[in-house]
């Protein structure tokens, strides 16, 4: 069992290191775009399925409430939380449209859409990002290896190279925390307590 535990940790660390080597510049650009959006009165729309839906809610909470420092609330909405909207769209149209319709309803030019998908190929996430892009929103994708079609819909694609979903998700959580922490620093400085 100890060997298995060590193996899991080593794989998680390896994937995080590879992400850092491959995606540092894209992550920095994503932070700057997001900080500029929020500074200019825009909002962040976040969406994904399953664990990525939970991450969407988690990240929205960190922006709206606070992260490490006291600061004003920042505008972020998880499009994964309203069961009436999700089930109405899924029932009356298709599940693949649940984020697309919400982006169309609440998104505006100057906002950012952040789609999260461990595979990088979730159709409803891709359609949400496509809608965002067609409306003039910047798009950030947080996904698995860039072989998925999500990359084509993103201004910034944060690819995580891994073959095991939980290891990809662990790296996604680190990236999500980096996004909010560095946006806070960009907007409010590092001395804000």
Domain ranges of the chain: 2-188
Residue 180 near residue 66 (C-beta atoms within 8 A): no
- Whole-number Å distance between alpha carbons of 137 and 128: 11
- Whole-number Å distance between alpha carbons of 158 and 145: 9
pLDDT of residue 147: 73
pLDDT of residue 76: 98
Of 158, 160, 121, the closest CA to residue 141 belongs to 158
As given in the structure block, the two tokens for residue 183 are 């946006």
Which residue bears the tokens 């909010």? Answer: 180
- Using 70 as the pLDDT threshold, list the residues of the chain that sit under it: 191-193
Which residue bears the tokens 């505006």? Answer: 108
Residue 76: in which H helix or E strand, if any?
Answer: strand 76-78
User: What CA dihedral angle connects 71, 73, 75 and 80, to 10 degrees?
Assistant: 120
pLDDT of residue 191: 57
Residue 163 near residue 18 (C-beta atoms within 8 A): no
As given in the structure block, the two tokens for residue 60 are 């929205």
Domain 2-188: assigned CATH number:
3.40.50.10490
């Amino acid at each position: 069992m100890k060997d298995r535990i060590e193996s899991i940790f080593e794989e998680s660390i390896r994937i995080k290191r590879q992400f850092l080597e491959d995606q540092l510049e894209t992550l920095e650009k994503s932070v700057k775009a997001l900080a500029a959006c929020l500074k200019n009165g825009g909002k962040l729309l976040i969406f994904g399925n399953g664990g990525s839906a939970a991450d969407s809610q988690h990240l929205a909470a960190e922006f709206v409430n606070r992260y490490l420092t006291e600061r004003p609330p920042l505008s972020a909405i998880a499009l994964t939380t309203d069961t009436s909207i999700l089930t109405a769209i899924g029932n009356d149209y298709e599940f693949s449209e649940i984020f697309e319709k919400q982006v169309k309803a609440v998104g505006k030019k100057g906002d950012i859409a952040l789609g999260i998908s461990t595979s990088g190929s979730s159709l409803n996430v891709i359609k949400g990002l496509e809608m965002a892009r067609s409306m003039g929103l910047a798009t950030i994708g947080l996904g698995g290896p860039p072989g998925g079609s999500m990359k084509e819909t993103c201004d910034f694609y944060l690819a995580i190279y891994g073959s095991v979903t939980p290891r990809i998700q662990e790296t996604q959580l680190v990236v999500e925390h980096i996004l909010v922490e560095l946006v806070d620093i960009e907007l409010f400085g590092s001395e804000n307590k």
